[in-house]
């Protein structure tokens, strides 16, 4: 019999040997996977090259990306100016165009003839491609107008009561983006709490009805405050027609995912948002948080319940997308690398 000391050493040696072997096997598996991905990329490139030569296809990445159009039909007081300023800061460096959709009196609903003009402009204005269009306009389905290409929609939403409070004070005191500009309700010193308590029109539950119609679109029912049909249409559009919808409270994550998905437009956006002096400075001035009593009174409204249901739906969808796009390490978020590749590509290239 071996002494206990030697038995222990033998067990430890065996354990270390097994760990070493497992580590080497893992390294071999990783090397094999990298080799397979390299071979697959090479085969895909050869197949594309052969097809492009045979059929005369233009497979240049720039030819495809430079035809891209993004529409950001921004909801008021959701950090939309802060985000749009990032696009303006990046457009020269990343070589794309930014265009503001300025509607008369900020009316989000276009006339039928303007809808047709807008779709035609966006679809055929080649000099403005790639293009980033932004403005306070309701969603438009380009396929309805016979357009060949369809833009990619993005947007940001905010807690309905927080958005309304911000808008209420913005109309009275403005913000630090253009502090000298006279606002429509300038001089009205009534607080949001006092407005709700007295039943004022600027803080009525109907004023909460904005995010749903912006996503619902140009149907008459979209603008019927409290419509459940509008809610379901807005949900369907958010899921099916928007590339990504972020939330104001998690704007940096929204920007990070856009940069990963659309680097042609947003390369450098995350760093700019974190360090830039101009892009995210806009804040409504003189804003006072509402009391619990004021919030509770608004939450009794059916309109709030439906708008909040839409916000919670958008938040859940955003968090789902984020969970599959980024990971957290040492308190920092980072974007996941590509996790798929192609293999078993036939017919083989000679």
Any idea which residues carry the catalytic annotation?
Answer: 134, 136
CA distance 333 to 326: 6
For the record, the structure tokens of 253 come out as 């994550």
Q: What are the phi and psi torsion angles at 183 (to 5°)?
A: -95, 160
CB atoms within 10 A of CB 339: 6
Question: 190: burial class by Cβ within 10 Å (0-12, 13-18, 19+)?
Answer: middle
Give, in degrees to the nearest 5, the angle at Cα 204 between 197 and 311.
Answer: 115
Tokens 């009525």: give the residue.
204
Cβ neighbour number for residue 310 with a 10 Å cutoff: 21
- What SS3 class is residue 209? coil
Beta strand extents in the chain (DSSP E only) = 69-72, 97-100, 131-134, 152-157, 242-247, 326-329, 332-335
Q: Please confirm whether the linkage preceding 35 is cis (ω < 30° from 0).
A: no
CA distances to 240, 251, 274, 291, 312 from 315, in Å? 16, 12, 22, 24, 5
For residue 347, say if its preceding peptide bond is cis, omega within 30 degrees of 0: yes
Please name which of 245, 262, 251 lies closest in space to residue 83, comparing C-alpha atoms: 251
What gap in Å lies between CA 321 and CA 99, rounded to an integer? 28
């Amino acid at each position: 019999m071996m002494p206990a000391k030697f038995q222990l050493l033998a067990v430890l040696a065996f354990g270390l040997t097994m760990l070493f072997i497992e580590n080497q096997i893992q390294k071999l598996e990783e090397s094999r996977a990298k080799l397979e991905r390299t071979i697959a990329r090479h085969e895909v490139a050869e197949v594309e090259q052969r097809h492009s030569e045979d059929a005369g296809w233009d497979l240049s990445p720039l030819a495809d990306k430079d035809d891209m159009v993004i529409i950001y039909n921004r909801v008021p007081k959701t950090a939309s100016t802060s985000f749009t300023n990032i696009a303006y800061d990046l457009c020269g460096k990343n070589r794309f165009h930014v265009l503001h959709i300025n509607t008369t009196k900020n009316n989000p609903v276009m006339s039928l003839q303007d809808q047709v003009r807008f779709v035609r402009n966006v679809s055929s204005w080649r000099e403005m491609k790639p293009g980033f269009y932004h403005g306070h306009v309701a969603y438009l389905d380009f396929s309805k107008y016979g357009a060949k290409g369809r833009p990619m929609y993005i947007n940001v939403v905010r807690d309905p009561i927080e958005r309304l409070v911000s808008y209420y004070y913005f109309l009275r005191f403005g913000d630090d983006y253009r502090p000298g500009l006279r606002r429509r309700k300038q001089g009205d010193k009534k607080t949001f709490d006092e407005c709700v308590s007295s039943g004022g029109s600027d803080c009525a539950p109907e004023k909460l009805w904005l995010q749903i119609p912006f996503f619902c679109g140009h149907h008459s029912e979209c603008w019927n405050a409290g419509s459940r049909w509008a809610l379901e249409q807005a949900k369907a559009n958010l899921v099916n027609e928007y590339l990504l919808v972020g939330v104001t409270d998690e704007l940096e994550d929204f920007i990070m995912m856009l940069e990963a998905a659309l680097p042609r437009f947003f390369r450098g956006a995350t760093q700019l948002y974190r360090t830039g002096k101009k892009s995210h400075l806009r804040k409504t001035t003189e804003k006072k948080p509402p009391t619990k009593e004021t919030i509770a009174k608004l939450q009794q409204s059916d309109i709030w319940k439906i708008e909040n249901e839409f916000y919670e739906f958008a938040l859940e969808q955003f968090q789902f997308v984020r969970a599959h796009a980024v990971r957290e390490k040492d308190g920092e978020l980072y974007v996941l690398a590509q996790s798929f590749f192609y293999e078993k590509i036939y017919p083989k290239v000679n």
